[in-house]
Every structure is written in C-alpha cells, then in structure tokens.
Structure 1
Amino acid sequence: MSSPDPQLISSRENPLLKELRRLAQDSTAYRKQQRVWIEGDHLCRAALARGVRPALAVFAESAWPQARTEWATAAAKTVLVADALFAGISGLESPATMAFAIDLPAAPALDPLAASVILDRVQDAGNVGAILRSAGAFGFRQVIALKGTAALWSPKVLRAGMGAHFGLRLLESLEPAALDALAVPILVTSSHHGEFLHQAGLPWPCAWALGHEGQGVGDEVGSRASLAVRIAQPGGEESLNVSCAAAICLHASATSHA
C-alpha cells in the first residue's frame, strides 16, 4: 500500500516543529509528550530491527529524494523539514538528515529474577548510555534506574546507548526500596574494600549496582548488597570512570558463568 506524500514544514512557527525541537533538546520532554526522539541512520535502523514502529519519521527536505525508496513506509506518518529548520531541531553538532519519533514504551514491571544493572544516581548521560551498551552486550537485560539518575530516554543517553535501549527492559525513577523485590543478589564495587573482582566467585544471575560519579553507591543501595568487590588497578589510579567499571564488572559476570 502506498503512503501519502509527506507533509513539508517550512515555517519556524509550525506547532509540530516546536514539539519536535523540545523533544530533541529537552532531556525530559519525552515524559510529557510520551514520545522519544531518535536521530540518525544508526539509531533508526536499530529501532526498526527490534520491531519498533515509529509514530513519525522526519527527514531533511534535501535528503528525501534519495531516502524515499527505503524509508517511505517506515513510519505511520512522514514529514519533511526545510534543511535550515532541521538543523535547528537537532541536538547534534553535525545534524543528521533523518530522525524518528517513537511512542515511549510502557514502563515494565520489575522482573525479580532477571540479570540486572542498578543505576544509583548516575548523572552523566554519556556514562548512562555506555552502561546500557555494556548491559546489552553482556546479557543483563534489565536496567533499574533509581531517582536521581539521568533520564534513560533522553536524546543524549539514546545517542550514547547506540541502540541498546531497544533490547533492554528499562525501569526508571524508582526508589531504593523497589530493590527489595529482586530475588537475585546485589553486587557493588568499592575502591578500597572487598575481594578483588578477578578472584571473587560471582553469582549468576545477579544485579550490579553502579553509583554516582563522585559519591559512588549510596547507603540505601549498599546496605542491600550481598557482595562488594574491588577492581585491581596495577597502574595506581584512585578510581575508574563508572562506565568503565561497569563494563569490567558485567564482562566478568558474563564470562564467569559461560
């Protein structure tokens, strides 16, 4: 079935354009609009590969003649935006020429038995996205973001996640008490206490808790942990970036039970 010709937006005052600009540039606008902005060929393809049906496809006007053949039926509705206006929507230094607006997925229930990652006030969007990538790569399918953590579906976290969002069970803005529903042990890292990670017997499945960039895991989460481990650092640095620590710990868990 052929799709109708896409609408062209050429006015800066267009109401839809204003909504899209907020969605692309405001980290929490998705909560109000119940839609998520994903920009660029890679993220859009990642969404489609996971069965996501975009509510809206947005293309720079000059890109459409070449994109039409592949993308004409990708979304329920397609709009074209004059090139200069598309650049004004984008939150990227080098704007892409296409984006999707997808419906915000319904918040899932917490799965007590799932291998999980707990984010305790991790505030940097790049760190959060990178941790989501590691979670997906190493078989941790549930991510529990406690209050104070960067918004999981914000454009910056989505870009850093590189498509990992679409294969994960994502829960956000939870209180630490919600962790009591987990039936898997919670593991934390420490700079100075606990067994060394490479010597520890790691349970599987488990839930790794990663904390605030400066303060680490808070007491409410730490008190619920079954095991604290240290990452050996022969080079002598005081600590690791939280996303680097996450990748090391999640990989250790994934390979320990393989």
Structure 2
Amino acid sequence: MKLITSRENPLFKSLKKLESSAKDRKVEAKTLLDGEHLIEAYLSSGGIPELFILNEAAANGRASVDLLKRLEPERLIVMPDALLRELSPVKTPTGMIALIAIPGANAETSQADFCVMLEDIQDPGNLGTILRSAAGAGAQQVYLSSKCADAWSPKVLRAGMGAHFCLVIKENAELIKIADKLIGSIIATSLNANKSLFDLDLTGPVTFLVGNEGAGLSAQLEDVATEKVSIPMPGKIESLNAASAASICFFERVRQISTRS
C-alpha cells in the first residue's frame, strides 16, 4: 500500500490527466472508474484494476475491504480526501477510484448477430444511455465514428452503468467500410420511411444505425442501410431523442425473439 499526499506526485499528475483529457485516455488506453458499482462491474467481467485508489475513510469501509480481497496490496493507493476529490468526476465522490486499461482497445472484432453503429453521437449522457440499452438488449459490438463523444470519459461511464464491460466497443471506426463486412440486415430509422419498425423481422442478424442528435445519419451512411423504417408516433411530438429511439429499436428485437422462442 502506498500513501500519496502531494499534488506534485508524478502518479497523481498522470491520474489527473486521465480524468480530464480524452487525448490522454486514448494515448494511454486507460481510464478511471469512480465508485463501487462500476468497479464491481469491471471485476465481474474478469478485469483487474492496475491501481485501486481510496481516501482514508473508504480504505476502512466494508465495501473496500471486500474489493481489496481480490487485489494485490501493491495495487492500492491511499490519498487524503481533498486529493481524491480532484480525481473524481462526480460532485459527491464515493472515495474509491480504479485505474484500468481500456478493454478491447486493440481487440479484433468478429462476426456478430447484433451490432450497433453510432455516428457522431456527441452528448455523453446520450452515448452512455445507448450503450446501456445496447448491453441490456444483448448487443455484442458497438462501433463509434471519430466524432462521437469519448466512450471512456467519466460522464459516459456513469451513464453506461457498467455496460462498457458487456460490449466490444470500437472507437474511431470507419462505419461505411465496416458495414460492408457485416452480416444480416442494416437498419436505419427515418421519419420519411414508409415501413414501420414493428413490421420488420428483427429475429436474424441485425445492425442498427444511430445518427447524430441534431443532424441524424449522414446520407452516405444511410445509403448502406438495407432497411429504412420509422417508429410510429401517434402523439404530437415530431421526433425522439437519439437514445430513446435506439432503445425502442433494440428492445423491439428482444420482444420479437422472446415471442418466437
């Protein structure tokens, strides 16, 4: 166990950069997890944190003791609460943070029967919510364009609630090239489509395309879709939030599969 008490400590400085800089997270292929829930989700997926950072109060708490049973003592760092708060992305820090290598950063993807492609999703809350819905619906792989928000930022991780560790997430993906190699239907939602999502057979291999919150899908990506569908909206709202529309699509597939089994 190591005690860090100074902001000038080189390790503290490097951790602070990971908390605040998407560029540093990408270069180092590392990120920080704040709180027992995210850390537990990571451990349950088979991951082992590189470091486990606690304030002095959390170091003596039951949750920390249970987590520490799975880690070597040399991976433990203790800091005063004031220092740990500077590393925490939340307003009310939990007192425990884990440093992890970003899973699957260099992993090869394989054929999957449920994929999601995200084009220029820029709001971290939307991105995390889409990842959470995708994981909940059983998606295996998610591809993000280069203009999407950083999937491993603290805000996206919080909104994802552990979904990151149930998915293969590929950032900076060339979506159109990847689409050519996918199996099954590639589905885009469109307000102008004549076919309803609920009339489409989603029980086979499928990829859902989700576009930018304001602009939607680019014409180039929409052209690769094999099916264009609308989500029926009998109310007086013209469109849905990107995360809401995506969730409806994902769980319509779940509904169809469950009713046929």
Q: TM-score range with shorter-chain normalisation?
A: over 0.9
Is the CA contact 1:55–1:75 (under 8 Å) kept in the aligned structure 2? no
Query: Which residue of the partner structure matches residue 255 of structure 2?
Result: 255
Query: Which residue of the partner structure matches residue 206 of structure 1?
Result: 206
Query: Which residue of the partner structure matches residue 51 of structure 1?
Result: 46
Spell out the pairing of 1:155-174 with structure 2 (5 A cutoff). 155-174=154-173
Is the CA contact 1:39–1:99 (under 8 Å) kept in the aligned structure 2? yes
Q: CA deviation at 1:233?
A: 1.2
Query: Which residue of the partner structure matches residue 115 of structure 1?
Result: 114
TM-score, scaled to structure 1: 0.93
Is the CA contact 1:28–1:151 (under 8 Å) kept in the aligned structure 2? no
Is the CA contact 2:188–2:225 (under 8 Å) kept in the aligned structure 1? yes
- Listed as ranges, the gaps of 5+ residues in structure 1 are 1-5
1:61 and 1:250 map into 2 onto residues whose CA distance is 43
Q: CA deviation at 1:145?
A: 0.9
**Counterpart residue type for residue 181 of structure 1:** K
1:130 and 1:213 map into 2 onto residues whose CA distance is 13
Q: CA deviation at 1:203?
A: 4.9
Secondary structure at 2:210 match in 1? strand
Query: Which residue of the partner structure matches residue 26 of structure 1?
Result: 21
Q: CA deviation at 1:236?
A: 1.6
Aligned residue pairs total: 253
Query: Which residue of the partner structure matches residue 230 of structure 2?
Result: 230
Deviation string 1:15-54 (CA, Å, 9 cap, x unpaired) is 1111111112223421122212111011011111111111
2:2 and 2:183 map into 1 onto residues whose CA distance is 50
Query: Which residue of the partner structure matches residue 65 of structure 2?
Result: 69
- Listed as ranges, the gaps of 5+ residues in structure 2 are none
Query: Which residue of the partner structure matches residue 3 of structure 1?
Result: none
**Counterpart residue type for residue 46 of structure 1:** A
Task: Report the more deviating stretch, 26-35 or 36-45.
Answer: 26-35
Secondary structure at 1:257 match in 2? helix
1:37 and 1:75 map into 2 onto residues whose CA distance is 16
Is the CA contact 1:28–1:154 (under 8 Å) kept in the aligned structure 2? no
Is the CA contact 2:120–2:212 (under 8 Å) kept in the aligned structure 1? yes
Q: CA deviation at 1:201?
A: 2.9
Is the CA contact 1:46–1:166 (under 8 Å) kept in the aligned structure 2? yes
Deviation string 1:36-92 (CA, Å, 9 cap, x unpaired) is 211101101111111111111010122212255323343340101110111111111
2:155 and 2:79 map into 1 onto residues whose CA distance is 22
Secondary structure at 1:173 match in 2? coil
1:95 and 1:146 map into 2 onto residues whose CA distance is 31
Query: Which residue of the partner structure matches residue 179 of structure 1?
Result: 179
Is the CA contact 1:25–1:90 (under 8 Å) kept in the aligned structure 2? no
